[in-house]
Chains A and B, each alone.
Chain A
């Protein structure tokens, strides 16, 4: 794999993860449990979609095949997506949505902090822009995980259920493969495994404060970031997200 091919893969991993989570969060628009949370969730989705434009815009530029960020977002099918399995999981109840954001936000913030020192100035510039927004997402999701985990009996039960369900999807965020090793060698991105100790420490600190129990199993689902085995949920999500481009190819406005 050439360095540019690996960089394209890496940029799709970043951009597809922000795109899929951004779309998932936007599914709450107009239906979240409180007006303030509705606005907060939609605002977070907007930040993530904005970051997607930057990541996939650079991916398209690196690929040099005449595709745009929109082409990558709207005209690929599930097997070409490189997002983490965690972010394509369905929203479930609001607790599960928040837990999914929390587990991702802690990783996302740390990844972006490291990427601000990337040897590729284009990657560093996007990371420097995005990290300010993501720091805000991470603060909010952690606050709410504590509020609901250490809340009523029912909110605690829902947050624990969410954690038990989503935990097996977290291992993929900090696993390494050929693309990651190529990026690390070029000093473009850190090895994901290097992020594990800091991620786990931060996540455990918040979950302890939230009176939640971290599952013991280290089993991890894999196959999102290399596209080998997405869960069935991604395809269903894309049929909604890409409906317009599928029904009216080449539509512009």
Chain B
């Protein structure tokens, strides 16, 4: 019988990485919020995870920090990447992080900040609105057609502008 190849080795845990510490660790929750606001969404990097409203709680006790994150869509593959990015950033800042998932209340696009909506627009993604996209993010025209209710990520749908004829992504109202 031919022996089966062994499965690939499991990489070391995050806590084993060498830390990159510059200065003392953050001492206030506000500093941690500021740190988290610099972590980009992996699929729409112009917005940060705090812009998306998915960081639900930050609590600091000495150097132990607890961060609660809520998923956007339950199957969004970005969620685990975000959890890892948060853990890495906090470890690198010299803290001992505990990252948990919080389902309740469920995430809604109402939690997107105004700054996030503007960043999306400039990036070419129409921000969520109750009755679908309000204006083409390229030319600003309002005659728009839905191409598909779904798009390249769970949070987006595909639309087309009838004036400039360009397709664009619409961040679905959720």
Contact = CB atoms under 8 A, between A and B. Distances in A.
Contact of B8 (A39, A48, A51, A253): A253
B151 A39 contact: yes
A46 B43 CA distance: 16
Contacts of A133: 73-74
B148 interface: yes
B149 A40 contact: yes
Interface range on chain A: under 10, 10 to 19, 20 to 34, or 35 or more? 20 to 34
Interface stretch (B14-22, B103-111, B115-123): B103-111
Contacts, number: 75
Q: Label chain A's interface by main secondary structure.
A: helix
A47 B152 CA distance: 14
B105 A132 contact: no
Contact of B74 (A37, A50, A136, A247): A50
Interface residues of B, number: 25
Contacts of A251: 7
A43 B74 contact: no
Contacts of B149: 40, 136, 139-140
A130 B73 CA distance: 9
Given A48-B75, A247-B4, A132 B106 contact: yes
Contact of B75 (A39, A49, A253): A49
A39 B104 contact: no
Given A128-B104, A128-B106, A40 B74 contact: no
Contact of B174 (A48, A132, A140): A132
21 contacts: A36-B150, A37-B148, A39-B150, A39-B151, A39-B152, A46-B73, A47-B73, A50-B74, A50-B76, A51-B74, A53-B74, A121-B104, A124-B104, A125-B106, A128-B103, A128-B105, A128-B106, A129-B71, A129-B104, A252-B7, A253-B10
